[in-house]
Amino acid sequence: MAYSNHFHNGFHFDDSHAVVDNVHIRNIKNIPSFYTDPKMFSADPAHWGLRALVTTTLAIDYKLGGSLNPFYFQLSTFIWYIFLCLMMFFMYKNLLQRSIKHNTAAYIALIATAWFALHTANAETVNYIIARSDIQSTLCIVASFLIYITYPAKRKWHLYIIPAFIGVFAKETMLVLIILLFFYILLFEDDLSVVDLLKPKNFRFAFKTILKLLPLIIVIVVAQIYTLTRVTSIPGISNPASYYILTQTYVWLHYFIAFFLPMNLSADSDWSVILNIFDERIIIGIVFVIGLIITIIKTSAKKETKPIAFGLIWFAASLLPTSLAPFAEVTNDHRMLFAFVGLALSVVTYIGLLLIKFEKQIKANKEYRALIALSLLLVLGLNAYGVYQRNKIWHDEESLWHDVTIKSPLNGRGLMNYGLTQMEKGNYSVADIYFQRASQYLPYYNTLFINTAILKGAMGNPQEAEANFIKARNMSPNTFDSYVFYARWLKQVNRVDEAVQMSEKALQLNPYSLMALNILMSSYNTLGMWDKLVETSNKYLALAPGDTTALTFQQAGKTHAAIAEREAPVTGNTATTLTAANYLDQSLAYYNQQNYLKCIEACEAALKLKPDYADAYSNMGAAYNQLKQWNKGIEACQKALKIDPNHKLAKGNLAWAESESKK
């Protein structure tokens, strides 16, 4: 019920390059190549990488929907999420029954799972399609962990390694599983505490544990090295490492608080690295981390509180990968999902132990029992309500980025993206305001200059448009979008030769850019470069088989090339004989070029060869309509319908001509 309004939510943010523009997911036969070719993960070279499990499921979703239907993508992510929650329940139950000798252990596990499943912050991951990588990697970690702890007698078969191996192809967090299993063995199987680990006499336990996990370590490390060596584009470090790591202490506190108060969630935070080590936020963060470590140490000492310690270890370990590597984004709300698997266990176990301690008083007092039930319903109900509200925010680009501008007003990217939604609606003045605001925070962001250029072009300011395109190109000369959008604008203003140059440069940087190929096809068609048109349309069709526009251009190129050969001086018997279908294709090409007289001539040539050609009469009628020669258009369409009474295009053109002729 909480997620009932999320299944038709659209594509957002990185979904644009990894899903919407990614032609590789449109052919399910590409699946084997996803595991070897990082270029198939994204349409943007800056994001090429090997997350083959994610790309595989996206290709399956596309196949099931037959298109970019968000429903199938959202449904798929939701099913992965449900599987994660189911496995978490059995994992929690197993851990709790090892420590708590009470009949409420299963109920504690159920409530912890419910809190996680309905947690408002997790809606940020479930709604964000490409963020399914977090769900899939977490699912694989939980699955491996569950197999390991549930079937100790079968560990020699190493079945628990299989989900871990698969998870490597979802996200680079699988190494955390090694840490989790190490502390699980330490706390639950060797019955030691964290402090015991530091005693020299217990070093052999640590060494033996590492040996137990050695097959897992080898598989994960080797698989991880394989995925990393296949990466062709590694983003540079954009934040100073030392300050970034210190800032993460405060981020951890933020995540911890968000578990209890998931408010002010933002799809794109405006947090930045804190560059003053004496900043109160860093001091508070360090105090929190110290407190977290102390709590882990104390709770690891008693058997019944070991699940609390382990849950907190899970929370900390899950955040290490994004805390030690200086990412561009200091914080992301979808990073909480993995961490909350551990935190839900710790928090609910603590509450459960507290209630067990006062079990007699609770049983004796109905008011206490009612208060506990009400508190439980309140926590789950408020989180479910929060999920439902966040689903509304994630519905479309405008609602999402408007929320970001409110929650993260210093985020230039959020301001720019909301401006884009207004530009698409034709609210150019509003878009201009948001682009200007964004430029205060992103003075060197080439994408912002590209969007500003597009806006200026739409507003009828070609000089400003070109100036911004050139700025974008100069700021990021090795980024394909700096060229492809400039090429599109050049084609729009009939600077076709320059459009070809920019498109070819874009293709050098990204050979999978359908936009660049489309601009080239249109440009070659305008320039009459038929061999190039055929060559480019073939490249397009190799990426997007069956595309009607590319097929039309391909046929037009072949037809014109044949005509050029026929009209050239003939030596021997090399002349090409054109069919009525060839002339029909030629008429369509002329029509697309808005050369309506030539279109009519080609139709007449087709009719000489095939007098009962309804398609030729229909094309002729459409061309006469464009020339506003309505009577001739009516006559041609009527002849088409006399031959084929069900000809839809002829019916439409006839209705158009008749309505206009009466005015």
Q: What is the pLDDT of residues 88-145, one digit of tens each?
A: 999 999 999 999 988 899 999 999 999 999 999 999 999 999 999 999 999 999 999 9
Q: Which fold has domain 578-661?
A: 1.25.40
Report d(CA 441, CA 508) in Å as an integer.
31
Tell me, what's the pLDDT at 572?
A: 40
Compute CA distances 202 → 246, 306, 369, 652, whole Å: 32, 18, 44, 85
Count the neighbouring beta carbons within 10 Å of the beta carbon of residue 327: 17
The residues of the chain scoring below 50 in pLDDT are 236, 569-575
pLDDT tens sequence across 612-662: 999 999 999 999 999 989 999 999 999 999 999 988 888 888 988 888 888
Number of C-alpha atoms within 13 angstroms, CB side, residue 150?
A: 16
Cα angle value 449/451/457 (rounded, 5°):
100
Report d(CA 15, CA 579) in Å as an integer.
45
Tell me, what's the pLDDT at 584?
A: 86
Number of C-alpha atoms within 13 angstroms, CB side, residue 25?
A: 31
Tell me, what's the pLDDT at 585?
A: 80
pLDDT tens sequence across 464-505: 999 999 999 999 999 999 999 999 999 999 999 999 999 999
Tell me, what's the pLDDT at 202?
A: 82
441, 460 in Cβ contact below 8 A?
no
643, 614 in Cβ contact below 8 A?
yes
What are the residues whose beta carbons fall under 8 Å from the beta carbon of 95, sequence distance 6 or more? Answer: 149, 188, 307, 310, 345
Q: Which residue has the tokens 């508070």?
A: 284
Tell me, what's the pLDDT at 565?
A: 64
Tell me, what's the pLDDT at 435?
A: 96
Q: Which fold has domain 400-545?
A: 1.25.40
| Ranges in the chain annotated CATH 1.25.40.10 | 400-545, 578-661
Tokens representing 37 are 């070719």
Burial class (CB in 10 A: 0-12, 13-18, 19+), 1: exposed
